Structures are given as structure tokens and as C-alpha cells.
């Protein structure tokens, strides 16, 4: 194996063999115009031989909440990326759900072969409320380059209990005066106190991803219950609505930034803790059924910087015929457009458990 650099990507190649996936370690990542790729918190979709990278577009010198919308870049090889512009723009119309000044984060696009539509899900906050809305938004397009048309935005599964809810748990009462992080509070969270708090209006949805399984079913995976609990909600055959089937994972665990993949019949999920824009240690979970039960394993990162996920926060795990790639954002809260990208190969130990290392340059 030899290491060489091209542009600002650190790429590993085997002599006489197909090149491996690009490895990106936080340097500026220029597109074909020489401008750093401005697509954050997103993911990659491959369609008809073309790679589409969707992400949050962040403008320079603007307030932190201001965005133009969802950006898209395309590539034939995952190395050379062309800016294709904004595929879902914020609106200039006052009162529009995605009025300029709203927050759009974690955009993910999947293709639905049954409808022929490209479906975009994203974390949405209405203008002027900070992170108080905790909505999930969905938009569709006939073309992967858009324009994507907003269908709806709001909380998830209003009036619906999660799978496995015990009858006595349905009688829990929300106690806003209960002191946080006490044993009593944690027990109430595990039993579903925050879930019941949001039952009528719907569950909160912040950091999120979308996963399409081998059988074609799709799932919306998101941080909920004031970022205390991960939820997995099944989507309908159009991928644009929830079916009402959902589960709660690790209540009180304070997980966000979910990224999921499947290998040899096992589902794996990597998340982060909740420390604002500051990096922290990644968490690893696994299950043999997407609806659980799930178990938590130690930090999948190894080596120097593992305790802060090499400075990044998970956003997506991309799969192609060469393997799996862990995608993360190295956030720059003072200039979010200059937040850097981290792409590292997912490796597997002799026990089949995935791990991530940052290669030496």
C-alpha cells in the first residue's frame, strides 16, 4: 500500500488494484471551482452511476441561523465534486414554513423506485424560535437535482405510543419541576415521561438520518425527547409519511447525530453525545432487527483523537462496493461554511465489530 495526496484529499491506493474510497481528514475540500464544499450534516446518494452529495448550505458572514437551503454536489468518482447549486431553497414569502431565517439541518435524500420520486428529509426549525420547533420536514422532486418541493413539516407520530409501551407507563405524568439527572428523573425518562409529554403534539425530531433497508422499507431515525432519546420510526411505501410504528432507543442516553448501516444481517449505528458544537466520543450500537432490541458498545474510534471522534461528529455512513465510509463534520461554529469534512473507512475486527481509525499522513 502507498499513500499519496491529490488536491486536499488523502487517498490510499493499492498498486495493481482498484482505488479505495477517498479518505478526507479535515483539510479544505475544493470543488471543481476551487471552492471548499459547502454541504454539511448531509449524506451521499448514488443514482444511475452518479454520486449526489447533499448538505446544509451555510453562507459566509451571515447570522448562524441564516441559510440558503440544501446544497448538492455531484461526482463520477467520489473525488471530483461539482457544485450543482441549491436544490431546495428557503422561501422569501413571510409565514412560509421554510421562510428565510428558518433552520434546515441534516438533509438526507433517498430514491423511491415505486413512485419515481427523490425524497428529502431534514431537521427543521421555524423562523424565530431557535430550536423550539424540533420538526421533521419532507420534500420531493422528480430529479435528483431538484427543485425539491416541500410537502409538510411538523412533529412525528402525534397521538401514537411507541411499540412496547406498557399500559401502566401510559399513566405517567409530565412533571416540569422534577430535578434533572436525579435517579427519580432518570427512571421517569426511561419509562417514557418525555415521550408522553409530547404525545399529543408529536415527538420532537432534531438530528436525523433516513435509512432504506434491503427489503425496500425506509426508516426515519432522529434525536427526540429533548435530545435524550433516539427514536426509529417506520415510513410508509412513499417514504414521505410515518406509519405510526416507532421505537425508543436508550432513553436518557443523550444521543444525537445518528448514522446507520447494515452488514451481514446486523444493523450498526454510530451517534455522538450532546456537547453543542464541541466534539465528543462517538457511541456504537448494534441490533439484529432495526426495531430492536439494541445494545450499546464502546467507542468505535481508535488511536489519537478517538476520545473526540478525531474532532468530528457523525453525519452519514456511505456504502459502495468498496466498503463503508464514516462521514463526519468538523464544525466551525464561528464560520459554519468553513466547517471541514472527515471521511474515514469503517474497518471490522475479527469479532465482526466495526471500528474507525484516522490514518497517519
360 or 52: which leads in pLDDT: 52
In a domain, 309, yes or no: no
In a domain, 216, yes or no: no
Query: pLDDT, tens digit, for every residue of 1-33?
Result: 333 333 444 443 333 334 577 899 999 999 999
In a domain, 62, yes or no: yes
- Tell me the percentage of the chain whose pLDDT exceeds 70: 93
Q: How far is CA 96 from the centre of its chain?
A: 25
Position 176 scores a pLDDT of 79
In a domain, 81, yes or no: yes
Position 169 scores a pLDDT of 78
Query: pLDDT, tens digit, for every residue of 251-264?
Result: 999 999 999 999 99
Query: Helix or strand or coil: residue 307?
Result: helix
Position 62 scores a pLDDT of 59
In a domain, 220, yes or no: no
| pLDDT surpasses 60 at 235 | yes
Query: pLDDT, tens digit, for every residue of 102-148?
Result: 999 999 999 999 999 999 999 999 999 999 999 999 999 999 999 99
| pLDDT surpasses 50 at 312 | yes
Owning domain of residue 39? 31-154
Position 65 scores a pLDDT of 54
Strands of the 67-75 sheet, one edge to the other: 40-47, 50-58, 67-75, 82-89
State the total domains in the chain.
1
In a domain, 349, yes or no: no
CATH number reported for the structural domain that contains residue 53 in this entry: 2.115.10.20
Sign of CA dihedral 178, 180, 183, 189: positive
Position 219 scores a pLDDT of 98
| pLDDT surpasses 60 at 351 | yes
| Percent of the chain as helix, strand, coil, to the nearest 5 | 5, 45, 45
| pLDDT surpasses 70 at 361 | no
| pLDDT surpasses 80 at 94 | yes
Query: pLDDT, tens digit, for every residue of 319-338?
Result: 988 899 999 999 999 889 99
User: Degrees (nearest 5) of the Cα angle 42, 43, 46?
Assistant: 150
- 88 CB-side CA count, 13 A: 33
In a domain, 55, yes or no: yes
Q: What is the DSSP string of 107-125?
A: EEEEEETTTTEEEEEEEEE
In a domain, 239, yes or no: no
- Which grid cell sits at 357? 481509525
Amino acid at each position: 500500500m502507498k499513500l499519496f495526496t491529490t488536491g486536499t484529499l488523502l487517498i490510499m491506493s493499492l498498486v495493481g488494484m482498484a482505488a479505495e474510497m477517498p479518505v478526507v481528514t479535515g483539510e479544505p475540500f475544493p470543488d471543481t471551482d476551487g471552492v471548499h464544499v459547502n454541504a454539511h450534516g448531509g449524506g451521499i446518494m448514488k443514482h444511475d452511476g452518479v454520486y449526489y452529495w447533499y448538505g446544509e448550505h451555510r453562507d459566509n458572514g451571515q447570522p448562524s441561523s441564516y441559510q440558503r437551503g440544501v446544497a448538492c454536489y455531484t461526482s463520477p468518482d467520489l473525488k471530483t465534486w461539482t457544485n450543482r447549486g441549491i436544490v431546495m431553497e428557503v422561501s422569501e414569502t413571510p409565514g412560509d414554513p421554510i421562510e428565510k431565517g428558518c433552520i434546515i439541518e441534516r438533509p438526507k435524500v433517498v430514491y423511491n423506485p415505486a413512485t419515481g420520486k427523490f425524497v428529502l428529509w431534514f431537521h427543521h426549525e421555524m423562523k424565530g424560535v431557535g430550536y423550539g420547533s424540533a420538526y421533521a420536514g419532507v420534500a420531493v422532486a422528480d430529479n435528483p437535482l431538484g427543485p425539491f418541493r416541500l410537502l409538510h413539516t411538523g412533529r412525528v407520530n402525534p397521538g401514537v405510543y411507541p411499540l412496547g409501551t406498557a399500559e401502566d407507563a401510559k399513566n405517567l405524568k409530565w412533571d416540569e419541576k422534577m430535578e434533572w439527572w436525579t435517579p427519580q428523573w432518570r427512571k421517569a425518562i426511561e419509562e417514557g415521561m418525555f415521550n408522553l409529554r409530547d404525545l399529543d403534539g408529536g415527538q420532537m425530531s432534531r438530528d436525523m438520518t433516513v435509512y432504506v433497508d434491503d427489503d425496500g422499507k425506509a426508516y426515519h431515525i432522529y434525536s427526540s425527547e429533548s435530545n435524550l432519546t433516539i427514536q426509529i420510526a417506520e415510513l410508509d411505501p412513499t417514504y414521505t409519511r410515518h406509519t405510526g410504528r416507532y421505537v425508543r432507543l436508550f432513553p436518557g442516553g443523550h444521543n444525537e447525530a445518528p448514522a446507520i448501516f447494515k452488514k451481514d444481517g446486523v444493523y450498526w449505528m454510530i451517534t455522538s453525545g450532546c456537547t453543542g458544537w464541541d466534539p465528543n466520543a462517538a457511541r456504537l450500537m448494534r441490533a439484529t432487527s432495526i426495531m430492536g432490541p439494541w445494545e450499546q458498545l464502546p467507542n468505535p474510534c481508535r488511536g489519537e483523537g478517538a476520545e473526540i471522534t478525531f474532532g468530528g461528529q457523525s453525519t452519514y455512513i456511505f456504502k459502495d462496493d468498496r466498503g463503508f465510509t464514516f462521514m463526519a463534520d468538523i464544525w466551525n461554529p464561528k464560520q459554519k461554511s468553513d466547517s471541514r469534512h472527515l471521511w474515514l473507512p469503517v474497518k471490522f475486527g475479527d469479532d465482526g465489530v466495526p471500528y474507525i481509525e484516522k490514518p497517519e499522513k
